[in-house]
Amino acid sequence: MTKRLIALLLLLGLGTIFADLIRGFTPDPALNMSAQFYAARTVVDTGAANIVTAIIVTFRGLDTLGEVTVLFLTAAIVALVLGGNVSGVKPRNWPVGELLQTGTKLLVPLIVLFGAYVFINGHLTPGGGFQGGAILASAVLLLLLANPARRFGHQLISRVEAVSGLFYVGIGVLGLVLAGGFLDNRILPLGEFGSILSAGAIPLIYALIGLKVGAEFSSIMASLSESEDK
């Protein structure tokens, strides 16, 4: 009872701070300086139509590299903590319905295609690497659900992840050598605005990020589903 009372008092204090923040907030009438810079220079510098994509991949690309590294660390630690049992796991064999199995065979190619579409078109429409990677991971999850007795191909997932990470940093270094700086996207021609082969190296970088993030999410879920059953 006292624990709840103390928690309530603490949250009441936080609540007064939040109320003060809301009351003192007025939205700006126009964009601030950095947003105006991004809005004006996106087409000229990068040739992309999606400003958020241009910020994530090109203008602040080093932060994205750090985020992908943090995700990689997360997947590695989850696999380590759950003590991935390579052998000696008895496969759970509950009866999987026929509807799920047939539906999976029909749906998984479509989901993979949709995920690839989302991260290839990241610079033109809302979308990009993280969303496409999450969609790819859900296709892998559907495979896991429909066939729980199958040994999952960890080799393939870790190879995809390692290779795409290597190519991502390789493209960054190529930007150092051929164009303005690390992860510059002008190593490929900017192309015309609005077509799919435009915006330099942004589709390539985002596709690699999408594959890497999808592989990491799949690895987390495979570790969780293969941990030892009591």
Q: What does the binding site for other proteins look like in residue numbers (CB under 8 A)?
A: 3-4, 7-8, 10-11, 14-15, 18, 21-22, 25, 27-28, 30-32, 34-36, 38-40, 42-43, 49-53, 55-56, 60, 63-64, 67, 70-71, 74, 77-78, 81-82, 118, 125-128, 130-131, 134-135, 137-138, 141, 193, 213, 217, 220-221, 223-225, 227-230
* DSSP conformation letters of 83-147: T---S-PPPP-PPPPHHHHHHHHHHHHHHHHHHHHHHHTTTTSS--HHHHHHHHHHHHHHHHHH-
Of 81 and 173, the one with the shorter C-beta distance to other proteins is 81
Q: Which is nearer to other proteins, 10 or 178 (CB)?
A: 10
Shortest Å, Cβ 229 to other proteins: 7
- Site of tokens 């690497």: 129
Of 178 and 228, nearer to other proteins (C-beta) is: 228
What residue has token string 């390539």?
204
Residue 55 CB, shortest distance to other proteins, in Å, is 4
Question: What span, in angstroms and rounded, lies between the C-alpha atoms of 12 and 4?
Answer: 12
The one-letter amino acid code at 45 reads D
